[in-house]
Amino acid sequence: NNNDNHNHNDKNPNTPPTKPLDTILVVQHEPVYTLGTASDPSFLLHNNSDIPMANIQRGGEITYHGPGQVTLYPILNLQR
């Protein structure tokens, strides 16, 4: 029994090492407008200076993110 290898199944030391699991992060962001590569700050019809704007590298225009809006971020092992 090799206790130094923590990647093995604790119930059976002969089990091969486990691979990292896929993960999904579930979050709610603080209020923010994200501006995609096709957007312009003038597209925002109701500019509330209390909500920051962030330029990001994605397609599209303006998207609001904030409390009450659940956002999912999948983290997947693409090498399987």
| Rounded CA separation 77/7 (Å) | 17
CA dihedral (53, 57, 62, 65) in degrees, to 10, reads: -60
pTM of the model: 0.57
Quickly tell me which residue has 């920051």 as its tokens: 52
Please report the pLDDT score of residue 16 as a whole number: 73
Mean pLDDT by 10 residues, the chain (80 residues): 48 72 92 90 77 90 91 88
Q: Any idea what DSSP says for residue 32?
A: E
Residue 10 pLDDT: 59
Sign of CA dihedral 5, 6, 8, 10: positive
Which residue, chain included where needed, has tokens 């003038």? Answer: 42
